[in-house]
Amino acid sequence: MTGALAAGLCYALAWRGKVVSARKARLKNILTPLGIQAIEATIYKQDSWYDGQPCIVLDYSKTSFVARQVRDEIREIAPGVFLGLVFWGRRHILDFALDFTH
């Protein structure tokens, strides 16, 4: 399966995006075609586990039973576009992009 096909299937069946509340420093993932908001994370700035440089952390450890081992690190690479790394525990397992320009 190609990466594009896997991403398309994931979007169609499960993960649809994120809703961010900057005021609360929280986010919720949007799941299923029904748009269910679940799997909450806290948001804060910290040095990256990957390279020690500053990043924005999406931390699920205290807000989600399902994703408590997950830590996302994101950096803005263009206005409104972020590149992300996913960690399971301390292991880097996946990369993703977020586009807030639409």
- For the chain, the structural domain boundaries read 3-99
Q: Radius of gyration (Cα) for the chain, nearest Å? A: 13
Give the model's pLDDT for residue 66: 86
pLDDT in tens, the chain (102 residues): 565 655 555 555 567 778 888 889 999 988 878 888 888 999 999 999 999 999 999 999 999 898 999 999 999 999 999 999 999 999 999 898 888 887
Contact 90/49 with Cβ under 8 angstroms?
yes
Q: Is the dihedral of CA 6, 10, 13, 17 positive or negative?
A: negative
Q: Any alpha helices (H) in 1-102, and if so which ranges?
A: 3-13
3-state DSSP assignment of residue 96: strand
The pTM for the full model equals 0.79
d(CA 49, CA 51): 6
